[in-house]
Amino acid sequence: MKLDRPARRATLVVHVAAAAGWLGLTLGLLALAVAAITTDSAATTEAAVRSMKIFTDWLVLPLAFLTLLSGLVLSLGTHWGLARHRWVYVKFWLTLATTIASVFALRPGVSDAVDTVASGASLVDPTDLIAGPIVSLSAYLFMMVISVLKPWGLTKRGRKQRESARGRRSVSGKAVDSEGARQPA
Ligand code: HEM
């Protein structure tokens, strides 16, 4: 089912707001991780990792799912398709991978760090704390860039679909342009 213009615009606003929120949140996590690692004050380290836990417990997953869901609606409800254009397909898999990594690596890592500092010990391997935000921030920036530039053209599946649409249309006597849109014969 294709989205009509108002529905597509509304979903795009939700999608960009969720994706930008997710990116900004990750930047905040990175700042807190740097503060936790570089300070000499145990109180600052504890405050920083506790703040990270609030972010990861309350915000990361809702924003990840909202980005993924709105992205799926936009893909399936518009001419972009999910597996038709490479930039969309790459974003889909990368978002899925970073969402899974947030559930199974980022959140447990931050919880462990809170338990460690709350027990009075210092962080065993502080790089663990900073690795997640660095990797996810790089991934979201990359996805932001490919969303705006929309590089790489059609996937193999997208090319096949375009060829078969062309075939069908030339049988019915209509010519199509390179995007598959109908042209006057
Ligand atoms: C962190 C992850 C993501 C970021 C940062 C992101 C960012 C963006 C941005 C900035 C746009 C607007 C581009 C423009 O209008 O020029 C956009 C559009 C779009 N995104 Fe995403 N996105 C993400 C995830 C996803 C996912 C997972 C999917 C698919 C499952 C997806 C599918 C789409 C589609 C199809 C559009 C075009 C919508 C249209 O023009 O109607 N995105 N995205």
What does pLDDT average to over the chain? 91
∠ at Cα 129 (87, 118), nearest 5°? 145
Percent share of the chain, pLDDT over 90: 84
CA 100 to chain centroid: 11
pLDDT in tens, 135-159: 999 999 999 999 999 999 999 999 9
**74: amino acid identity, one letter:** L
Question: Contact 60/15 with Cβ under 8 angstroms?
Answer: no
pTM of the model: 0.88
Q: In this structure, what token pair is assigned to residue 185?
A: 């014969």
Q: Please name the residue whose Cα sits nearest to atom 37 of ligand 1.
A: 74
**CA 98, 103, 104, 108 torsion-angle sign:** positive
Any atom of ligand 1 within 6 Å of the Cβ of 22? yes
Cα–Cα distance for residue pair 85/81, rounded to 1 Å? 7
Average of pLDDT values for 30-56?
96
∠ at Cα 90 (149, 80), nearest 5°? 65
Q: What is the pLDDT of residue 82?
A: 97
Which residues is 154 bridged to in the sheet?
85
Mutate to test the pocket of ligand 1, among 70, 91, 143 (most ligand atoms within 8 A of CB): 91
**CA 27, 31, 33, 34 torsion-angle sign:** positive
Alpha helix positions (H), 60-155:
61-76, 86-101, 107-118, 126-149
Any atom of ligand 1 within 6 Å of the Cβ of 12? yes
Closest listed residue to residue 71, CA positions, set 95, 49, 53, 42:
95
pLDDT at 88 over 60: yes
pLDDT in tens, 152-184: 999 999 999 999 988 888 887 654 444 444 433
Measured from the CA of 80, which atom of ligand 1 is nearest? 35
pLDDT in tens, 89-139: 999 999 999 999 999 999 999 999 999 999 999 888 888 899 999 999 999
pLDDT at 81 over 90: yes
**CA 15 – ligand 1 centroid, Å:** 7
Q: Please name the residue whose Cα sits nearest to atom 20 of ligand 1.
A: 71
